[in-house]
Chain A
């Protein structure tokens, strides 16, 4: 048997807004809970304009570093941590998740949020990672150490009053480093 041909991606287009977002999509934990943080940011195109029709999805370990394998992301009960969330950008190109900081999968491993990114005008998904600022394990992370200082800076969130901020630049001086896996 021959290896099946991968199905190619296509743009998410302009009209996903009535289909993919749903109530509670971006709230992996209820906003305001004692251990909740906000993970948010702005998304920019190559002209520096915010992108109002992008969709971001995060997938993460829980605070103890365990991979959640619990259903319930589409009908959140407020108690179950499923590790997955979805946020569309608003008219200002802003997205916001309520979640918890991911723990390390094993000792010494740098925790991160896995991110997939979609937008009108973008012909296929993009993958990247959002690392935690000033985490001790970042210094030994195989991906981060393989990058230049400028590239590394695009993958590490910055701390702010409510949690973390992580902006995405599709092009330009601060172009986000995107990833491929093999």
Chain B
């Protein structure tokens, strides 16, 4: 296939990866088939796989040995405590960082954080970061020649409420190119960092948007080899969260599993 110069060639002195999407897609399909077979035979298939060669950076950065089982001890059954002295409520609005409105589709992202038994993770820290609507991060190593937006930093925080709910006001991030293989593009996503009721439940993940055509092509999303597990990272459009004449609403609930201490109902006055 003849190579087509892209806008990136103008500034990119580094050698281009020669592997194509077709090469990668074949590897992705092969690993999905093998994982499904292993699961059908009763094997424990981690979701995501850490050893997932289609994500080239994972090759030298995954443990080669299975993790060892540990019975969680006291400190691991508790989580660090964050509160309203840590986070200003305004940090949940990513659209007010500059003097003007950021460019892009205004959205509200909201949902509940619960543990594996459906109990709310209350008063706990949620951190997010994302690209702007053109697919550009404010990061000095970011090479993508898409415009920065002076009114959008793409960083937010909040503390969940007594029902485990979080809510961010932001703009929809754009997809962006990366160097994994030739013509590699990440589906639009928002990075989420979450703390549960126990340190064992710590999670960093990515929330995606419904019906993204890049899902099938993306080795990071596809490192979760089971469709039902992948689906858990995709938000749902929720018309009730949309604000008339203002913004679109997406709902995404998060389930943090891992052992924790015995559940107690909050006492009166316990905020």
Residue positions of A touching B, CB distance < 8 A:
1, 3-20, 45-47, 49, 51, 57, 59-61, 67-75, 82-84, 102, 105-106, 109, 112, 114, 116, 118-127, 129, 142-143, 146-147, 151, 170-171, 175-182
Contact = CB atoms under 8 A, between A and B. Distances in A.
Closest CB pairs A-B (n = 8): A121-B57, A19-B129, A71-B83, A84-B80, A121-B61, A46-B60, A74-B86, A180-B67
A15 B132 CA distance: 13
Interface of B: 46-50, 52, 55, 57-65, 67-76, 78-87, 114, 116-118, 125, 127-129, 131, 137-139, 141-142, 153-155, 157, 191, 193, 199-200, 202-206, 220-221, 223-224, 228-230, 232-233, 253-259
Contacts of B48: 8-10, 123-124
Given A121-B55, A171-B63, A179-B67, A105 B73 contact: yes
B124 to A, nearest CB: 11
A128 to B, nearest CB: 9
A122 B259 CA distance: 23
A69 B155 contact: no
Contact of B73 (A109, A116, A151): A109
A34 to B, nearest CB: 24
A82 to B, nearest CB: 6
B139 A61 contact: no
Nearest to B224: A8
Contact of A179 (B69, B79, B256, B257): B69
Nearest to A54: B61
Contact of A178 (B63, B191, B220, B229): B63
A118 B194 CA distance: 13
A73 B82 contact: yes
A4 B137 contact: no
A15 B64 CA distance: 25
Contacts of A46: 59-61, 64
Contacts of A4: 114, 116, 118, 253, 255
B63 A8 contact: no
B110 to A, nearest CB: 15
A95 B233 CA distance: 31
Nearest to B159: A71
A15 B73 contact: no
Contact of A51 (B47, B61, B118, B206): B61
A109 B10 CA distance: 60
A182 B69 contact: yes
A176 B86 contact: no
A125 B155 contact: no
A18 B155 contact: yes
A19 B128 CA distance: 8
A138 B63 CA distance: 24
